[in-house]
Structure 1
Amino acid sequence: MKKLPISFFLLCLWLTGCTTHSKPGIEGYVVKKESGRILVVASESEDFSSTGGLKEFYPAIWFSHASNKADVGDKVQIWFDVVMESYPGQAEAEKVLVLPSKKPKNADLTESDAIRKALTSKELNLPNIPAIQSTSYHSKTDVWEVVIHSGESEVTVQISDN
């Protein structure tokens, strides 16, 4: 008789575990941090050109309950439930995973450091929400290149690795 309650408890525990989100709702870069929240922009674009939308659209969401876990420049995965459909969206983070930042051989800065410097660069004056399209480190010149997409424009920011 004692096996039934224990088995029932284990089944309930297993079912509860299965109902949580197994995949993050968004993976992207933290591009802004203010007022106890972070703005995450997806690292992969979506193509809405077949329905008259943008060919390169980068989903973006402001997350509350995440600002003490991630900084500008960090690549993150975030799990969430409900999102208010504005642009950028707004949601409460359920789980935040900061992904390890790449640091190439001979580089002084990490990828996160280079992105943070690029986003605060004086030469960057974007009218829309910035999306990190790509990053690369060039050891011969000791320079990071951060390609930032915003609206319909694209800017490459060069950051000295020091």
Structure 2
Amino acid sequence: MEKEFYQRNINNIITKCPIETGVEILVYRMLDECIDDTELSLVAIDSLKNDRDERLETEKGPPDIAVLSNDFVYKDTRGKCYGFIEVKSTSESIRETEQFFAESKAIKHFIYTNGLVWKYYQDGELKKEYNLIKGKKIPYSIIPVEIDENVFEALKAFMLTIKWDD
């Protein structure tokens, strides 16, 4: 994904419809380019309701996106869940809540983002953080932003290094 595409789309979300779902779609597209689909599957799970698969659960419910082994079968013993991604609206700061603690500690790999700030946790510990906003470093936005190309490229490069199935 190119920085210009990401910036145009995040600003469309901010100015036209600043809701979590818009950010989730953009985050999903970004991650989809960084995950080897011959080994792993990226799946939106935020709409799971009753009678769910416990592998996709935390004590505060399911996160937004999961990284699964390709042999994963819902409500079966086959396959593994390797990571969760929790997405917030660009108008929300990335803060530690009960939901955050439940999700980040439930799995080895956890990404927490509002599309502007990306935080990567491994085994519940913050390992990397990227603030994509150039210049004014605020954790959330309700006005259009300029994406820092260097930070954006560093985020993409880092995403490619995550060993989800470790």
| Rg larger in structure | 1
Structure with more contact order per residue of length (Cα contacts < 8 Å, sep ≥ 6): 2
The structure richer in helix per residue is 2
TM-score by length of 1: 0.26
More strand by percentage: 1
